[in-house]
Each structure stands twice: as C-alpha cells, then as structure tokens.
C-alpha cells in the first residue's frame, strides 16, 4: 500500500463515488489545489456552493461515512486494476484536452499502448456480413502497420474489431461504460474477450470504479473517451441516430479525423456512414485512407516472418506450392477439413495465404 499516499487515496475514494462526474472532480481539484485528502474531507457547506442537488450531497456524506479508501485500494490491487490521475505521467495526453476531460481513470493491462499510433473502429451492434468482412480486413491491415485498435467492447462491429486485432497479433484497447472488473464488465457476452485483450498486451479503461453497473447514460460519456483517446475514428456501419454516429460527431468536435466506410444506399446499417460521408467524413476505401489520416508512411508496415509460425502452420504453408482448393489441400496434407479451415484463417490473418476466386487459396509473399 506504500504507493497510496493520503491525497491519492482521497482521489480514489472520490472517483469511486458514482454521484460525482468529471466536472465535479475537476472542481474539487481546483478548490483544493489537487489535494485529494482535503477534497475527500470537504464540508457539506462547501459542497452545496457548487452542487445543486441536495440529494447528491447527502448521498456523498453517507457514502463517505461508510467508505474506507484503503479498502478500495486493496480491492483494486487484488483485481490487478490500476488507478490513474490526470497528473500522472502515464495519463493519456489526448484525454486531457477534450471537453469534459476525465480527472481519473481505472485501467488494467498496458496503458502505454495508448500513446502509440491508434484508431477507433466502431459501428453498429447489428453487424451485417459486409460490415464484418470490412471490419476484419481493415483491422488486420491496421495491425500490420502497428496501429492500436480502440473500441467499446460492444456487440457487433466493436467486438469484431477487438477480436480481429487479437487474432492478428495486434494490440487493442476497450473503453467501457461499466467497471472493468469481471463482475461488472458489459456486455457479459464479452467477458472472455476482455480477458483475451489483457492477455495479449491490450488494455481495458473506464472512468467508473469496480462494481459499477453501466446505465444507459454512461455510454455517451464512454463514447467521448473512445473518440478522445483516438487519433482518428473509423465508422464501419451505423444506422441513423446510432451511438457510433454520436462518437463520430464527438470526434469531429475534438478535432479528430473521421472516416466512414460507404455502403449500399438500400442498407439500413449504411445509412449513417453514407450520411457522414455526405457531411464531410473521409470515405474509407482501404488502409491508405487510414494511413493518411494518421500521418503514417506505407513503408512502416510491420514485418512478419515465418519464424512467427508454429510447426503445424509451417508444415501446412510448405504444402501450398501452387493455387489449391480446400479439398485439394485437405487431401494433400491429410489434415481434417475443420483444422484446414482454421489454419487457412490463421495464415490469412498473418498475411501468408491469400484467397483467390472460385475457392482457391495460394501462398503469398507479403510486400513489406
């Protein structure tokens, strides 16, 4: 517990009170010159000078009388969750400059990747086959250039972007509206995905403390962090008035580049992205548009060699000496078809195999 001085413990307890948002925390920091211990012990009278809701003040007084900051810190450490203040070196600089900037964050994983080239890939929960394919292709391409993928862990496009980044051996950050402990991660369907993100060197980030169940109003607040942390935001699919479009508008207000994937005018899930393009978003037709938005050079593509392959993958790849169908590969390698399909997907993600027309696959020589 030596890392926790009285001021930091005070801020931890304040940030863990669900009635205080970022504006209240910043106001307390201003009044008490960033001293969390003094802010934690603020009087009822001082609170009433800038908080109008009497019920909020009363709830805080009750919360404070029943709360031990040291216990919150111990719970965080037990769950391997870290607490970050905007005065800390590792606090993402991008988030300090946005409207309603967060005062404090909870995170687990590697926060340093929040300082690397990064893009938010977001979209509808009702993902189409087209949306899934585009998300996978663009995410894989981003990973090849060392770009960190940021999203919101939601079902649909968000989850697809996180999962594809992991499978492509890239880094990804999930920003949540809930707490980031296993008990409160939302949605529950993505608890396993959240664990994989951490295991593969990524990060989970939230303004909300452990044990916090997300409410509907938490997601727009979460969205400002997704766009704020990113250097650019890419919307794959989204209907009119979707949360993804709200994030895109926030990104524009925050001075971030906004890209959108065009889709069929008859598709409900492409109405929002087509509308964004009509209003000035960059049409995203491939990785070149993303590289330009992030000011990255095509020559910076990450090198991947066959030393990254295990013995089974190397054996399988060695058999692909000419274009073959899946049936031909299965007979040639004597590997069950379900395993063949897994190997093809894995090697395609890594850039060693390319699918041709009429069901053929061929070995590729990546252009690095």
Position 34 pLDDT exceeds 60 = yes
Output the pLDDT for position 80. Answer: 95
Question: Per-residue pLDDT averaged across 338-354, rounded?
Answer: 81
Question: Per-residue pLDDT averaged across 190-199, rounded?
Answer: 97
The token pair at 106 is 């909870």
DSSP, collapsed to helix, strand or coil, labels residue 58 as: helix
Contact 352, 363 (CB under 8 A): yes
Output the pLDDT for position 360. Answer: 83
Output the pLDDT for position 216. Answer: 87
Q: How far apart are the first and last CA of the chain?
A: 47
Question: Per-residue pLDDT averaged across 212-216, rounded?
Answer: 91
- For residues 248 and 253, give the distance between their C-alpha atoms in angstroms, rounded to a whole number: 9
Position 185 pLDDT exceeds 80 = yes
- Does 3 or 101 have the greater pLDDT score? 101
Output the pLDDT for position 306. Answer: 58
How does pLDDT run across 314-332, given as a tens digit for each residue? 888 888 887 888 889 899 8
Output the pLDDT for position 300. Answer: 62
Output the pLDDT for position 345. Answer: 80
Output the pLDDT for position 353. Answer: 82
Output the pLDDT for position 368. Answer: 31
Contact 245, 270 (CB under 8 A): no
Position 44 pLDDT exceeds 90 = yes
DSSP, collapsed to helix, strand or coil, labels residue 164 as: helix
- Looking up tokens 């908080």 gives 51
How does pLDDT run across 232-278, given as a tens digit for each residue? 999 999 988 788 999 999 999 999 999 999 999 999 999 999 999 99
Percentage with pLDDT > 90 across the chain: 76
Question: Per-residue pLDDT averaged across 52-79, rounded?
Answer: 96
Output the pLDDT for position 77. Answer: 95
Task: Enumerate residues 6+ apart whose C-beta is below 8 A from 89.
Answer: none
The CATH architecture that domain 111-300 belongs to is 3-Layer(aba) Sandwich (3.40)
Hey, how many other C-beta atoms are within 10 angstroms of the C-beta on 264?
Answer: 12
- For residues 54 and 262, give the distance between their C-alpha atoms in angstroms, rounded to a whole number: 49
Position 227 pLDDT exceeds 90 = yes
Question: Per-residue pLDDT averaged across 146-170, rounded?
Answer: 95
Output the pLDDT for position 318. Answer: 86
Position 358 pLDDT exceeds 90 = no
**pLDDT class of 299 with cuts at 50, 70, 90:** low
Question: Per-residue pLDDT averaged across 280-304, rounded?
Answer: 85
The token pair at 191 is 């608890």
Contact 285, 296 (CB under 8 A): no
Output the pLDDT for position 182. Answer: 94
Hey, how many other C-beta atoms are within 10 angstroms of the C-beta on 291?
Answer: 19
How does pLDDT run across 113-129, given as a tens digit for each residue? 999 999 999 999 999 99
The CATH architecture that domain 306-363 belongs to is Orthogonal Bundle (1.10)
Position 78 pLDDT exceeds 90 = yes
Q: pLDDT averaged over the chain?
A: 91
């Amino acid at each position: 517990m030596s890392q926790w001085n009285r001021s930091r413990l005070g801020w931890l307890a304040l940030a863990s009170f669900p009635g205080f948002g970022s504006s209240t925390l910043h106001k307390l920091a201003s009044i008490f010159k960033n001293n969390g211990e003094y802010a934690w012990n603020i009087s009822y009278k001082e609170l009433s000078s800038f908080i109008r809701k009497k019920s909020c003040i009363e709830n805080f007084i009750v919360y404070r009388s029943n709360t031990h900051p040291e216990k919150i810190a111990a719970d965080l450490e037990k769950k391997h969750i870290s607490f970050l203040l905007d005065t800390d070196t590792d606090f993402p600089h991008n988030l300090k400059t946005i409207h309603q900037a967060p005062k404090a964050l909870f995170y687990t994983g590697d926060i340093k990747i929040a300082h690397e080239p990064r893009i938010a890939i977001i979209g509808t929960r009702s993902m189409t086959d087209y949306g899934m394919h585009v998300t996978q292709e663009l995410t894989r391409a981003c990973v090849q250039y060392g770009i960190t993928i940021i999203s919101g862990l939601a079902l649909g496009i968000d989850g697809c972007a996180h999962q594809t980044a992991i499978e492509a051996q890239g880094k990804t950050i999930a920003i949540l509206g809930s707490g980031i402990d296993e008990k409160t991660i939302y949605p529950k369907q993505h608890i396993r995905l959240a664990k994989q993100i951490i295991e593969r060197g990524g990060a989970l980030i939230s303004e909300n403390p452990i044990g916090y169940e997300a409410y509907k109003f938490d997601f727009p607040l979460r969205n400002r962090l997704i766009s704020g942390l990113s250097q650019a935001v890419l919307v794959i699919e989204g209907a009119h008035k979707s949360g993804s479009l709200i994030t895109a508008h926030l990104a524009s207000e925050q001075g971030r580049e906004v890209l959108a994937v065009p889709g069929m005018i008859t598709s409900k899930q492409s109405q929002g992205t087509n509308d964004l393009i009509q209003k000035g978003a960059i049409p995203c037709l491939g990785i070149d548009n993303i590289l330009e938005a992030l000011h990255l050079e095509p020559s910076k593509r990450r090198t991947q060699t066959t030393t990254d392959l295990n013995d089974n993958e190397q054996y399988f790849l060695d058999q692909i000496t000419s274009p073959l169908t899946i049936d031909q590969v299965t007979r040639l390698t004597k590997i069950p078809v379900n395993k063949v399909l897994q190997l093809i997907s894995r090697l395609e993600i890594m850039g060693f195999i390319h699918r041709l027309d009429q069901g053929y696959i061929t070995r590729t020589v990546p252009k690095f």
